[in-house]
Chain A
Amino acid sequence: MNIQGKRNIWKDYQKEIATDRYFYVRSCVRQNFFPGSEKAFLRILKEELSRDVYENASHTTCSGIGYHSDVVPFETAMTMVARQFALMTESGYENFTTSCITSFGLYSEILETWHHFPEVEERIREHLLRATGRTFKKPANLSHASDVIFKFRKEIAEKAKHRLINRKTGNPLKVVEHIGCHYSKMFPSKGVGGAEYPYVLVGMIEEWGGEVIDYPERRHCCGFGFRQYLVKANRGYSLACSKKKFESMAPYKPDFILTNCPGCPMFLDRWQYALSEMEGITYGENGFGIPVLTYEELAGLVLGYDPWDLGLQVHQVTVDPLLDKLGVDYDPSAKFTGKNGIDLGKPEPPTFLKFYQNE
């Protein structure tokens, strides 16, 4: 990777990220896909960094998934988002932090629309007032949760129990970073490092000791495009996008993939299973897949959290070989034991993709 060229680009895309008092809004889908991630974010901010993070139980979907699937009109989406801003205002916060990349993209798009068309903002304020009796202030700072972890990457590095170094070889772990399309492809100035070479995940990887892989299809979509996977007839396009990325990154032998979007880890993880079952191909070492982590899961591992508390047992591509490389002390027998001690049952192993270490 020509790092100097990237740094020249990154310095043009610096972004202000609030340092405390976050109004945090969750994603619609992440708690099902990777259930430990958002909890890990809250734990890191509250317990490790002693920051004030507030969640409002009345928060609903931002409707971004419906908007990007062409079933929710923009006017409706704007009113929904105005209601989220009203919840923030009522709670006494002004730094809005989203867990979801599509929410972040939609909030950015709406704030930009209101900036250029104040009459639209006025109309939406009227809609909201008439429908709910609420008023709102616009956020003083809008950030994605990965921006916040990026902001505190040095503090996390200081508390690190594990660095991204292969314990067996002593070499830095090779990491593929994948940014959600709605993070900065829509508004490059809203993302850390811009759209071509976003720095948000690269900064975390570098700070925690890993090495970033630059590969040809780095900025290609993961395949989570809503209209690709929602309609079964189009789902082959989604699979083809992921396959294109895997084939492009596999020759560089990455140790894992790091993502900051709800959909990317889901599809880069699950499609490895689907491709192995359909075509008999695997992309990792020794018949395993390439593990896929969210940035919260990685931060949690770096801070020494138990991998099963982070929800790593629900990944389709097993993360055990990565935990061994990192030197994480984990209990393999507790992998499929719930928090209440109940045995969750072992998943059936896939036909081709290696899932258990001792197979």
Chain B
Amino acid sequence: MSSPEKKWKTVESGPHSYEEALHPVVRKNYGKWKYHEIPKPGVLKHVAHSGDAIYTVRAGTPRQDTVDMLRRLCDVADKYSDGYLRFTVRNNVEFLTPNEANVEPMILELEAMGFPVGGTGMCVSSVSHTQGWLHCDIPATDASGVVKSMMDTLYHEFRGMEMPNKVRLSTSCCAINCGGQADIAVVVKHTRPPRINHDHLATICELPKAVARCPVAAIRPTVINGKKSLMVDEEKCICCGACFGACPAMEINHPEHSKFAIWVGGKNSNARSKPSTMSIVAHNLPNNPPRWPEVTDVIGKILTAYKEGGRPWERVGEWINRIGWKRFFEETGLTFDDDMIDSYRHARTTFNQSAHVRF
């Protein structure tokens, strides 16, 4: 691949340097911040020990951006924040300016360009998500399309601060769940074992690797029509799709049988309760492009109940811990079923080992 006329010698530089990307007021007060306030949704005010203040205007983006869109964001930064901008882990863009007078015009301009200003404090922020059909090699669904559909219904919540505490969302287009643990997560749930292409399996897959990948030892070597291949014990298979990542001839994705599940109660922060993992509260939802209405409907039900019943500072999982799962299912209108009883390692720790009962 190397070009004969190549002149540049690679510098293995690692991450881009950051000093030149910091606003001069940030550089001056680096590590010397005193406190912050949220004057209004989408705006932060940070005050340094020196007395300097810097204002941040935060706006939502599609994450799946283009050079045209980024140049427009650069125009905003050049006009209002001295040419500096940054992004958050929830794909929001931030403009930092020491000039308070720039805040309102910047908000108006961003909103006029279609970028919602918000994502601060007790709001529903944007979705941590994956690649989906646009770019991934193992997706059961799209990611950006699901996110767009969700955020259209949560637009008001992104731009406000009306929730008991922040709400973090994620989506994932396979059961690996690259989107991560979140207050509410949308994750693909396969409902059938992989379909095996015995004609090609041995030529495109390393058999021992695929066997070793299975978490429940359901994959065994076999010979089909004289060709080496693999077979799956369908009684044992838990439809995780791990083998598909190692062996493309073990297709797990299916247009009808790959469904959606909704999970709640994940939390990454250490504030109050320890970080927590999510629990499943709905599944068997159809993979229904282009707008996935069944998914956004369930998310709406959960958020409506949480907004109504959560106390200040309670995250979704903490709210459920207080009111109990019984009331969670009652208040959201969702249905608990026997598939929601854990059956994997550590399942025992999820059973109610007490006489504490909610009526």
A binds B: no
Q: A-side interface residues toward B, CB under 8 Å?
A: none
Q: B-side interface residues toward A, CB under 8 Å?
A: none
